[in-house]
Structure 1
Amino acid sequence: MEVQALLITFREALEALLIVGIITSYLKRVNHKEYTKYVWLGAGLAVLASAGVALLFQVVFTGFAVMGSETYLKIAIMFISVILLTQMVFWMAEHSRDMKKSVEGKMDRFITTENVVGMVIHSFLVVLREGVETVFFFAAITHGNLGAAMQGWGAATGIMIAAVVSYFFFKGTMRVPLKTFFKVTGAFIILIAAGLLVQGISMLQDLNIIGSVMPHVYDLTWLLPEHPIDYEHYLRDHGVAPIFSGNVGVFLKALFGYSAMPSLEEVIAYVGYFVVIYLLVTSRHAKETRNAEQKEADAQALGPKTKNVV
């Protein structure tokens, strides 16, 4: 869970800090540093609002627990988180290139109209979006126990790493491009999303909401048990210890949704998720290639006409 929390907070905090950093750096560059305080005001209010969302969510979850329906809420959160995590990765991949230009364009309009309220609201919404997403993802990886995620070392470490990366980026001393950072963290986020998808399906099968054609496609307990209890049971029943500890299985299950005895539906969902991701990536790449070729063709067609006019 801690590694999941680290990756999620690093990703979310980095996105928020980058946008706020772009805004404040631009204001400094155009000699309007007096507006910086309003940007940080909006960001600070968003942090407080995110804490309020976390508190509200915990209250709602407790209400579901009292009614005995918290399991259904957990499953819903997992599936929604899969969609949000996937969307987050693709959104950043698509908008990271023109993010700076877009943010600076908005700031120009705010400065021209002296729209201080607009600056506060803009920075507030940027940071609030990341905060709300973090709350939701924490709920998914902890099954509703937000306090466990927020108090652990993963969340704090993720924020600190994001702050350090942002600092060196804006100081111009960071050697590794942010695009590479987003690709690497994006790959891990996709793995986390796939794991949540499989865990959600497993919980549905445990509740007998959906059945299974083949409850156990294979059994890797002898190699890597899913839990220390599975390790002890295997040792008791077979007289031989599994190759790897059950603690490793717990870690991989929490991070990637590992299952020592997955059902056929879990395997199909896991593999199918990556097939869908692959199709989305190749489709986006093909679209970018077509757009680049079209721009090049338009430029070549415009060249001779320009020469004739001259």
Structure 2
Amino acid sequence: MNLQAFLITFREAMEAILIVGVILTYLKRIGETRWSKWVWVGVVLALVASYGVALLFQVALTGYESMSNQNYLRIGIMLASTALLTHMILFMTKQGRSHQLSVQTKVAAILTTGGILNMVIHSFLITLREGVETVFFFAAIGGGDIQSAMNNWGALLGLVTACVIGYLFFRGTKRISLKHYFRVTSVFLMLIAGGLLVQAVGIMQDIGIIGSAYRTAGGQIAEVYNIEWFMPEHPNDEAHYIRDTGHHPLINGQVGVFFKAFLGYTHNPSLEEFGVYWAYYFFVFLVLTRRKKPDTAASVSEGAEGPETVGNAPVQRQGA
């Protein structure tokens, strides 16, 4: 199972489910359930459109026949995905009272104008945005092969898990802490983003777009350290290590492949790969730390106003 595909699908699907759930619950509360079917029409159309986007994107990626063009495209997708994931981690995890009221205000405006088409378009765009982001992230983690990520059990399991949690939350049968959910998934998404970033740096160095400040006496890009003996990043590296040394690494290359795909692990990073990797985590940590104090004050203020509810389930406030 592709853990990256699971986490990305789970997170994106959950965000769409939460927003659509707020709309449906609001319609039920004000006695306007006749509009619910149009919300579902928009959701279904968005799912079909998202699959169409995936097919078109795959065709476009396949059109880059030369290896150099594919590398440039992979770099662009990885960097863009890193930026989108970082934005999601830092700015899109606060699904609190203000977000809920914003969604309800838009729905109320649509009901006032009485436009069925507007309701369909609203739910369509909400779901389509998450679907397109998922396609883009799949292109990044699959190295341009979107179908491999879509056909993986991880993607299906992520979607099913999101649906189950969303159902339990809005049914109110269980108390689901969305605050903890967003925190935990944000950590994993941060690890994925850092891995994509360092892989992009590695590809840029491999094809000569950027050099290195740390080189060997022969002018080659030097490695900061080499822990191939501990865990090679690929079975081929493991085979070469066994051939050259006569010893087996402590952890085999199959495990190394997983960590390389998930965390951007490399057993012999360049100075730039090492520096960018940890600088990225430091940047995210710094931003989250600076936001922690204002968020805490806001939570205390909201707590004084009373708990939030969506249907029968209390809405847990989230912080990054």
TM-score, scaled relative to structure 1: 0.91
Deviation at 1:232, TM superposition (A): 1.3
Task: Please list the CA deviations of residues 164-223 of structure 1 after superposition, one character each: whole Å capped at 9, or x if unmatched.
Answer: 000100111233311111110110000000000000000001101111223200001001
Deviation at 1:282, TM superposition (A): 1.7
2:304 matches 1:261: no
Deviation at 1:28, TM superposition (A): 1.1
Deviation at 1:115, TM superposition (A): 2.4
Structure of greater relative contact order (alpha carbons < 8 Å, 6+ residues apart):
2
| Identical aligned residues as a percent | 50
Q: Which runs of 4+ in 1 moved over 4 A?
A: 289-295
Looking at structure 2, the residues matched to 172 and 103 of structure 1 have their Cα atoms a distance apart, in angstroms, of: 20
Unaligned runs of 5+ in 2: 215-221, 303-320
Task: Please list the CA deviations of residues 38-94 of structure 1 after superposition, one character each: whole Å capped at 9, or x if unmatched.
Answer: 111111111111111111111211222258511100110000000001111223223
2:226 matches 1:222: no
The SS at the match of 1:143 is coil
- Say what the alpha-carbon RMSD is for the aligned residues: 1.9
Looking at structure 2, the residues matched to 7 and 292 of structure 1 have their Cα atoms a distance apart, in angstroms, of: 27
Task: Please list the CA deviations of residues 228-266 of structure 1 after superposition, one character each: whole Å capped at 9, or x if unmatched.
Answer: 111111111111111001111000000010010000000
Deviation at 1:292, TM superposition (A): 7.3
Distance 1:216 1:96, change over 3 A: farther
More divergent stretch after superposition (37-46 vs 93-102): 93-102
Distance 1:114 1:190, change over 3 A: same
Report the AA paired with residue 255 of structure 2. Answer: V
Deviation at 1:289, TM superposition (A): 5.0
Q: Which residue of 2 aligns with 1:38?
A: 38
Q: Contact between 1:194 and 1:273, CA under 8 Å: does it hold in 2? A: yes
Report the AA paired with residue 8 of structure 2. Answer: I
Unaligned runs of 5+ in 1: 296-310
Q: Contact between 1:165 and 1:174, CA under 8 Å: does it hold in 2? A: no
2:255 matches 1:248: yes
Report the AA paired with residue 253 of structure 1. Answer: K
Deviation at 1:155, TM superposition (A): 0.6
2:15 matches 1:8: no
Looking at structure 1, the residues matched to 262 and 232 of structure 2 have their Cα atoms a distance apart, in angstroms, of: 15
**Number of residues of Structure 1 aligned to a counterpart in Structure 2:** 296
Q: Which has the larger radius of gyration?
A: 1
Q: Which residue of 2 aligns with 1:279?
A: 286
Q: Which has the higher helix share?
A: 1
TM-score, scaled relative to structure 2: 0.88
Report the AA paired with residue 41 of structure 1. Answer: V
More divergent stretch after superposition (117-126 vs 259-268): 117-126
